[in-house]
Amino acid sequence: MGFKKKNRHVGIVGIGETKFSSHREDVNQPEMIHEAVKDALEDAGLTMDDIDCVVHGNMELFEMVHQPDLWHTLGTGARGKDAFRLTTGGTTGGTLVGAADNLVAAGMYDTVLAIGFEKLQEGHTTGGITNMADPLWARKLQSGALTDSAAVKAIAEFGPDRAKKAAMLYRIIMDKHACLNPNSHRAFGLDWDQMADLMENSPPLIGDLRLIHMCSQSDGACAMILSSEEKAKQQCDHPVWIRDHITIHREETLNLCVNHYPNETTHRFAARHLYERNGITDPLDYFDVFEMYDPSAWWGADWIRDFFLLEGDAHYRLIEEKEIMRGGKMPINPSGGVLAANPIGATAMVRVAEAAKQVRGNAGPHQIPGTVNHAIASSFGGTMWTILIMLEKELNW
Amino acid sequence: MEKEMNVTDNDNFDTMADQELIVLRKTISVDQKFATGPVMGKFLTALKDKRILAIQCPECGRLQSPPREMCAICRVRNREWVEIGPRGEMRMMEYCYYSSPDPLTGESRETPYGAIGILLDGCQKEEVFWHLLRPEHLEMVEMGIVMGDRVTRGTRLRPVWAQERSGSIDDIKYFEIDE
């Protein structure tokens, strides 16, 4: 891979998030975006005068507004500034952070504002995603973002009992995390004794993927301000440093067979390359927190194995021993993750924002105990596309 | 919408609490047409003759059906055509309870239905073909699994062809049990 080290260091100096919700009819799109932008500027102690460039993104098929960056200029503050629009489906938020990281690292701009948003109640999410499929064949067959493939494979590998329990345990852990996050869209207050009932009675969507396993359709926006090392140190006492990021795409085909041929996922491929080039031999030991783009409990439970380069059932043991809970060996999604809120164009950025807040130590009620020095955030989209973004508390690598 | 909006006070949305909030509902219908290109065109034309074609990568040898101009992994142009199936083995099913919209018609799909991956005869490993299962057979099929040394066979399936064929995915109505 043609990877080059950064030209200069890049720090996160401002973070803004709206409350995530299924209904934000109280604001229109630019107003909702403005909430996140204002929050990020206040967090950084900056004004729009300090912003050199704006990168803005969502998945426009969802709201059916093309070039939303025009209308949204009212909320983004982009008038008279350099601006880019990016849209890569579920990974959009990660692509925005990666692009802003590149723009600052390259020296093109000192301070970049990245904004991801989605107002899913204003369109049709499943209809939009189904239009992502190849129009000549797959559109007739694809059922939006819903797929049973992770459940089918987990059940084939670990048997129905263990696989279904692991997915539901993962789901309830995420809900317990979500209940501490004031921005959560969905926080049900689930408890362990509801597992059997939910595994049996939650409405089925596809095969063993039930409603309780799946992420929501949310409204919300996220904004982040990234600056060069020199600027970041002037603007902020404790910038969170973006050490590295990797973005991996593959062709559009979905994996439609139950098998375990040695076919490396983009998650494992991205993780392997990122850790190798940063000299990280034991990622489970190195990182203090992981914010994962987990669209369903089945996927979340399965993907832990790939992201930490684990083998066998090591990922299931982490779940079963509740080591992924706050206070555990590897806290995953103290925010509640995508199961707590999924404003798609913002979702992947929220993962980075929440990981960065954990590093700063001011995430709020869902701040995990202990010092967070090293954090990682993932983005997911398309047909298994991956972005991984590594954050550091100190500039010492 | 008589009252004046307080646009200068961004912090206090309570000042807008008695503002009438209006939601506008729109339904749009958009005609679309897509060029197949020569490769997909050849595949779709063969369906009219009840033949399923795959295209083969000259480097890694993998088959793709529906065919792609390139092997995206090897980054070479695919040139060799191979006829596959039409019978095959059930490998994966999405048993769909959720009624998602069919973008080709705008109608919600009838549920339950099975979107399936079929390993057509002549194909191997991940070279599965994506189509639908005959709804009456939803409860009667088994998925084949390959996991290390563990190999189980899936239910044998055959295509049911439409009477009128136009060179589209609908030329195959669905796949049904062939046993």
Give chain A positions within 8 Å (CB) of B93: 148, 152, 207
Q: Is the dihedral of CA B74, A276, A347, A228 positive or negative?
A: negative
In a domain? residue B30:
no
Please state, in angstroms and rounded to a whole number, the distance separating the CA atoms of residues A62 and A42.
30
Residue B121 falls within a domain, yes or no? yes
The pLDDT profile of chain A, 397 residues, written as one tens digit per residue, is 667 789 999 999 999 999 999 989 899 999 999 999 999 999 999 999 999 999 999 988 888 888 899 999 999 999 999 999 999 989 999 999 999 999 999 999 999 999 999 999 998 887 788 777 888 888 888 877 788 889 999 999 999 999 999 999 999 999 999 999 999 999 999 999 999 999 999 999 999 999 999 999 999 999 999 999 999 999 999 999 999 999 998 776 666 666 655 567 889 999 999 999 999 999 999 999 999 999 999 999 999 999 999 999 999 999 999 999 999 999 999 999 999 999 999 999 999 999 999 999 999 999 999 999 999 999 998 767 899 999 999 999 8
**Which residue shows structure tokens 């993780």?**
A271
Q: Look at chain A and report how many structural domains it folds into.
A: 1
CATH number of the domain residue A227 falls in: 3.40.47.10
A49 belongs to a structural domain: yes
CB atoms within 10 A of CB B27: 5
Domain-located, residue A111: yes
* Per-residue pLDDT at A5: 84
Across the range B116-120, mean pLDDT stands at 95
Residue B114 exposed, middle or buried by CB count within 10 Å (0-12, 13-18, 19+) = buried
Q: Is residue B23 part of a domain?
A: no
State the total domains in chain B.
Answer: 1
Residues of chain B with C-beta less than 8 angstroms from the C-beta of A62: none
A149 touches B at CB < 8 Å: yes
* Token representation of residue A194: 């509801």
For residue A135, is the peptide bond before it cis, meaning its omega torsion is within 30 degrees of 0?
no
d(CA A380, CA A28): 27
Q: Is residue A57 part of a domain?
A: yes
B103–A139 CB contact, under 8 Å: yes
B144 touches chain A (CB under 8 A): yes
CA distance A157 to chain B (A): 8
Residue B17 pLDDT = 59
Domain range holding A47? 10-126+216-235
- Chain B residues touching residue A143 (CB < 8 angstroms): 94, 96, 98, 100, 109, 115
Q: What does DSSP assign to residue A192?
A: G
> Counting one residue from A and one from B, how many pairs have CB atoms under 8 Å apart?
124
Question: Does residue B1 sit within a domain?
Answer: no
Question: Does A257 sit within 8 Å of B68, measured CB to CB?
Answer: no
A118 within domain boundaries: yes
Residue A297 CA to chain centroid, in angstroms?
14
Q: What dihedral angle (degrees, nearest 10) is formed by the CA atoms of A152, A212, A94, A237?
A: -140
Task: Say if A47 falls within a structural domain.
Answer: yes
Residue A59 domain flag:
yes
Instruction: Quote the domain boundaries for residue B104.
Output: 37-177
For the stretch B16-45, pLDDT in tens is: 556 778 888 887 777 888 999 999 999 999
B105 pLDDT more than 80: no
Interface contact A260-B146, CB threshold 8 A: yes
Please indicate, yes or no, if residue A85 is contained in any of the structural domains.
yes
Decide if A45 is inside a domain.
yes
Helical axes A266-277 vs A297-307, angle rounded to 10°: 30
Report strand pairing: B145-147 vs A258-259. Answer: parallel
- Please report whether residue B8 resides in a domain: no
CB within 8 A of B35, min separation 6: which ones?
A: none
- Chain B residues with CB under 8 Å of A249 CB are none
pLDDT tens digit string along A171-224?
999 999 999 999 999 999 999 999 999 999 999 999 999 999 999 999 999 999
Residue B152 structure tokens:
């189980």
Instruction: Flag if B98 and A263 touch (Cβ within 8 Å).
Output: no
